[in-house]
Chains A and B, each alone.
Chain A
Amino acid sequence: EAGVAQSPRYKIIEKRQSVAFWCNPISGHATLYWYQQILGQGPKLLIQFQNNGVVDDSQLPKDRFSAERLKGVDSTLKIQPAKLEDSAVYLCASRSTGYSGNTIYFGEGSWLTVV
C-alpha cells in the first residue's frame, strides 16, 4: 500500500515570497490533516479536511496560510507571504473512516526554510 506522498521535499524561499506544498493521501482515506513541525517541537495541527470540507482550521494563520482539497483527494497548502518563523517541516497525514481508521499515517514532510 502506497503511503502519504508529499512534494516538494525541500524548499528554500526568501521572506515575503510564496510557496505551495502538495499532498496525496493514502487511497481511500477521507480524512486529511496538515501539521506544522518547528525544529525541536512536536507537530501542531494546522487544518483537518473530511473529504473536501474543512473540519477544523482553528490553528491555521489565515492571514497568510490557505489550504484546499477541491476533489476530496489530494490537497495543497499555500503560504503567502512567508515569514522567517514559517521555517518548519509541513507534514501531511491521512486516515480512513470508521474504527479501522483510528490510525493516522504521516508523510515524510516538506521542509521549508525561509531566509
Chain B
Amino acid sequence: AQSVTQLDSHVSVSEGTPVLLRCNYSSSYSPSLFWYVQHPNKGLQLLLKYTSAATLVKGINGFEAEFKKSETSFHLTKPSAHMSDAAEYFCVVRSYSGGGADGLTFGKGTHLIIQP
C-alpha cells in the first residue's frame, strides 16, 4: 500500500524567508506524488506533481519539490514566503490497487503560518 507522512503538523516562517515542508512516502513501485494547497474555506488546488519525469518539479506560485528515491522524500520548498502562502498543505500519493482504482492518499497536512 502507498502512504505519505508529513513530518510537521505546523511550520512557521517569516515573510521573505525560505519555506520547507517535509514529506516522506512509502510505495512498492515508482509513485505519482503531488502537493495540494487548501486555503481556509476553499477547495484543494494542485501545486505540483511528480510522475517519473524530472526529479525536480516546479509548480505554481514559486513552489518546487524534489523527488529523492534514495531518501523516499518529496519535500516542498519556496525561496521566499509571502503572506498569501498561509494555508494547509497536503502531500499526496496516488494509490493503484487494481481494477482501475487509483484514488489519492493524503497526508495529515502541514499548516503553514507566515509571520509578518
How many residues on chain B are close to A (CB under 8 Å)? 23
Judge whether A45 is part of the interface by a CB distance below 8 angstroms.
yes
The answer to whether A56 and B43 touch across the interface, beta carbons within 8 angstroms, is no
**B106/A102 in contact, CB under 8 A:** no
CB-defined contacts of B106 to chain A, threshold 8 Å: 42-44
Question: Which one of A33, A56, A91 lies within 8 Å of B97 (CB-CB)?
Answer: A56
Residue of A nearest to B104 (CB): A104
Inter-chain contacts of A43 with B (CB < 8 A): 44, 90, 104, 106
Quick one: closest A residue to B100, CB to CB? Answer: A55
Contact with A along B15-53 (1 / 0, CB 8 A): 000000000000000001000100000111110010100
Chain A: minimal CB distance from B12 (Å): 18
In the complex, what distance in Å separates the CA atom of A1 from the CA atom of B63?
A: 24
Contact A106 B44 (CB under 8 A): yes
Q: Which of B66-116 contact A (CB under 8 A)?
A: 90, 92, 97, 99-109
Please count how many residues in chain A sit with their CB below 8 Å of the partner chain's CB atoms.
21
Q: Which residues of B contact A41 (CB under 8 A)?
A: 108-109
The CA of A107 and the CA of B44, in the complex, are separated in Å by 7
Q: Are B108 and A42 neighbours in the complex by a CB distance under 8 Å?
A: yes
How distant is B88 from chain A, measured CB to nearest CB, in Å?
9
* A59 CA to B105 CA, complexed, in Å: 12
User: How far apart are A93's CB and chain B's nearest CB, in angstroms?
Assistant: 8
Complex Cα–Cα for A44 and B104 (A): 8
Using Cβ atoms and an 8 Å threshold, which residues of chain B touch A107? 43
Candidates A40, A48, A102, A109; contact of B103 at CB < 8 Å = A48
B-chain residues with CB within 8 Å of residue A35 when the two chains form the complex: 104
Closest 9 CB pairs of A and B: A42-B106, A56-B101, A45-B103, A108-B43, A106-B44, A55-B100, A106-B43, A55-B101, A43-B106
Q: Could you list 6 further interchain pairs (A-B, Cβ under 8 angstroms) beyond the known A50-B100, A102-B51, A109-B43? A: A43-B44, A45-B103, A48-B103, A56-B103, A102-B32, A104-B46
* Contacts from B to A (Cβ < 8 Å): 32, 36, 42-46, 49, 51, 90, 92, 97, 99-109
Binding site for B on A (CB under 8 A): 33, 35, 40-45, 48, 50, 55-56, 91, 102-109
